[in-house]
Amino acid sequence: MANLPILQFEEKIVETGEKNSVVVIIGETGSGKSTQLSQILPRHGYTKSGIIAITQPRRVAAVSVSRRVAQELDVPLGEDFGYAIRFEDRISSKTQD
Ligand X SMILES: Nc1ncnc2c1ncn2[C@@H]1O[C@H](COP(=O)(O)OP(=O)(O)OP(=O)(O)O)[C@@H](O)[C@H]1O
* Interacting residue ranges for ligand X, rule: CB under 6 A: 2, 4, 27, 29-36, 64-65, 67-68
Indicate the residue among 19 and 59 with the shorter CB distance to ligand X: 59
Question: Would you say 72 or 79 has its CB closer to ligand X?
Answer: 72
Per-residue exposure over 27-40, b if at least 16 CB sit within 10 Å of its own CB, e if not: eeeebbbbbbbbbb
Closest residue to ligand X using C-beta atoms: 30
Nearest to 81 by CA among 59, 52, 41, 57: 52
Minimum CB–partner distance for residue 31 and ligand X (Å): 4
